[in-house]
């Protein structure tokens, strides 16, 4: 099957020019050259692709240099695993040597050896990602599909190539639900059975790799449905028993990328108890920003029973003070506890902005001696303001006078 017209139709002109240029350069180096991985899947699915993965049979690094020189790009990085990363204008591509891999221990990075095209395709995660399109001059556009990827693509199925796949690399469990959820594909029955069998192998994967794959899920437009599957197949719980996700609670989420990432961390940790927080942070190797957000979400959940009982605005204020507004907003958006929502919204919309006009400096300027009572006084003043006991500057002055010197 030749798909050159499909490539031309779905890649943009610059990407097509680059593939043609690489094809010419590969002739000079006497090597076969193929488009592989996600770009093949996406193009055959009738859509454009961002990054391009190119596989050559040998001399990848010299080819990468020649491509950069002749097509006007920059080689960014060359690894000892046989991969070169390049930018040509706005287009990113990886040029790699065909390779085969062996996994000594589950979760380890594989040992990589030079291999054939067939071996390279056979080491991949799913049939839909294990196809290649020839870029060689004499066979440009020929589809190489030894694992029936095309029919799985047409039938909407995510299927592993062999029964050790998830044991070799358990991040593929997260990738399976991402690829399935992205297109509304089904997990093939056997693949789903392997996920259930091998989900515990997620324990063998580093926090960094798990976090990377989870965050790729967070970024997908259908991330909530994907996380629900991850919950139902006990994938989240295999990462840490306190992680969970409930699709029904998810309202539409509109916010920028960084916040979205945090909100999803909040959603999968919202049922965790305070004792679970540190182990989750350690397991996922969360940075300080993510860790603080998860901490706040779990703290809010622990505070909610007291919050529901709080009778005064000042109590609400002091319970919620110091928690990130984004965490409070996220919690309020995704809980069905109306009383908690009411108190949190009141705090976010009004209470957190309340400030007495009298400050520490103004008290010192009025001759109040320095000392811990200043902090206590300001705290009581703020509480009186929050609870509506005083509402003007004059009343604040009166409040301070009465507190310091007593009297009516």
User: Which residues here bind ligand CTP, judged by CB under 6 A?
Assistant: 37-38, 53, 124-125, 129, 169, 171-172, 175
The nearer residue to ligand CTP, 49 or 224, going by C-beta atoms, is: 49
Q: What distance in Å separates the CA atoms of residue 300 and residue 33, rounded to the nearest whole number?
A: 55
The nearer residue to ligand CTP, 216 or 342, going by C-beta atoms, is: 216
- With beta carbons less than 8 A apart as the criterion, state whether 239 and 170 touch: no
Q: What distance in Å separates the CA atoms of residue 19 and residue 22, rounded to the nearest whole number?
A: 5
Minimal distance in Å, beta carbon 46 to ligand CTP? 14
E strand residue ranges, 64-130:
74-78, 83-88, 91-97, 99-102, 111-114
Beta bridge partners of 54: 35, 95
**Residue 330 CA, distance from chain mean position:** 17
Task: Using alpha carbons only, give the angle 236, 237, 243 rounded to the nearest 5 degrees.
Answer: 70
Minimal distance in Å, beta carbon 91 to ligand CTP? 14
E strand residue ranges, 111-167:
111-114, 132-134, 143-144, 157-158
HSE-up of 192 (CA within 13 Å, CB side)? 11
Burial code of 27-39, b = ≥16 C-beta within 10 A, e = fewer? eeeebbbbbbbeb
The nearer residue to ligand CTP, 50 or 325, going by C-beta atoms, is: 50
Minimal distance in Å, beta carbon 136 to ligand CTP? 20
Minimal distance in Å, beta carbon 144 to ligand CTP? 13
Residue 385: how many other CB atoms lie within 10 Å: 24
What does each C-alpha distance from 297 to 242, 350, 395 come to in angstroms?
Answer: 13, 21, 37
The nearer residue to ligand CTP, 129 or 223, going by C-beta atoms, is: 129
In the DSSP assignment, the letter for residue 387 is T
In three-state secondary structure terms, 327 is: helix
Minimal distance in Å, beta carbon 245 to ligand CTP? 20
Type and span of the H or E element at 54: strand 52-56
The nearer residue to ligand CTP, 179 or 399, going by C-beta atoms, is: 179
The nearer residue to ligand CTP, 216 or 345, going by C-beta atoms, is: 216
Minimal distance in Å, beta carbon 132 to ligand CTP? 10
The nearer residue to ligand CTP, 88 or 93, going by C-beta atoms, is: 93
Minimal distance in Å, beta carbon 124 to ligand CTP? 4
The nearer residue to ligand CTP, 125 or 188, going by C-beta atoms, is: 125
Minimal distance in Å, beta carbon 174 to ligand CTP? 9
Minimal distance in Å, beta carbon 175 to ligand CTP? 6
To the nearest 10°, the Cα dihedral for 348, 352, 353, 354? Answer: 130
Nearest-CB residue for ligand CTP: 38
Question: With the C-alpha atoms ordered 155, 153, 208, 264, is the resulting torsion angle positive or negative?
Answer: negative
HSE-up of 13 (CA within 13 Å, CB side)? 0
The nearer residue to ligand CTP, 195 or 307, going by C-beta atoms, is: 195
């Amino acid at each position: 099957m030749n798909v050159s017209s499909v490539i031309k139709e779905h890649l943009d002109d610059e990407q097509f020019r680059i593939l043609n240029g690489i094809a010419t350069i590969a002739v000079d180096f006497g090597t076969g050259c193929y488009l592989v991985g996600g770009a093949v899947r996406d193009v055959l699915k009738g859509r454009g692709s961002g990054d391009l993965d190119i596989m050559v049979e040998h001399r990848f690094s010299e080819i990468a240099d020649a491509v950069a020189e002749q097509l006007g790009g920059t080689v960014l990085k060359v690894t000892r695993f046989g991969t070169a990363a390049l930018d040509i204008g706005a287009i990113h591509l990886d040029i790699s040597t065909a390779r085969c891999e062996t996994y000594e221990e589950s979760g380890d990075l594989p040992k990589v050896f030079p291999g054939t095209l067939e071996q390279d395709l056979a080491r991949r995660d799913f049939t839909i990602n294990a196809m290649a399109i020839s870029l060689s001059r004499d066979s440009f556009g020929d589809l190489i599909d030894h694992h029936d990827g095309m029919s799985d693509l047409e039938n909407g199925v995510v299927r592993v190539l062999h029964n050790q796949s998830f044991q070799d690399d358990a991040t593929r469990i997260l990738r399976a639900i991402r690829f399935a959820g992205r297109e509304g594909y089904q997990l093939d029955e056997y693949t789903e059975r392997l996920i259930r069998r091998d989900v515990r192998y997620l324990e063998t994967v580093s926090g960094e790799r798990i976090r990377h794959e989870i965050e790729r899920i967070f970024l997908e437009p259908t991330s909530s449905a994907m996380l629900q599957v991850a919950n139902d197949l006990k994938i989240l719980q295999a990462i840490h028993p306190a992680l969970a996700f409930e699709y029904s609670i998810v309202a539409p989420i509109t916010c920028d990328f960084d916040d979205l990432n945090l909100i999803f961390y909040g959603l999968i940790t919202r049922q965790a108890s305070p004792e679970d927080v540190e182990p989750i942070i350690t397991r996922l190797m969360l940075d300080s920003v993510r860790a603080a957000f998860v901490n706040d979400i779990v703290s809010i959940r622990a505070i909610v029973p007291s919050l529901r009982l709080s009778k005064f605005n000042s109590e609400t204020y002091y319970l919620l003070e110091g928690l990130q507004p984004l965490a409070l907003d996220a919690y309020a958006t995704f809980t069905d506890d109306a009383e908690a929502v009411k108190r949190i919204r009141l705090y976010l919309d009004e209470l957190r902005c309340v400030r007495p006009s009298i400050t520490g400096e103004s008290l010192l300027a009025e001759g109040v001696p320095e000392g811990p009572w200043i902090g206590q006084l300001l705290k009581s003043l703020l509480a009186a303001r929050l609870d509506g006991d005083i509402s003007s500057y004059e009343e604040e002055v009166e409040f301070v006078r009465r507190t310091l010197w007593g009297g009516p």
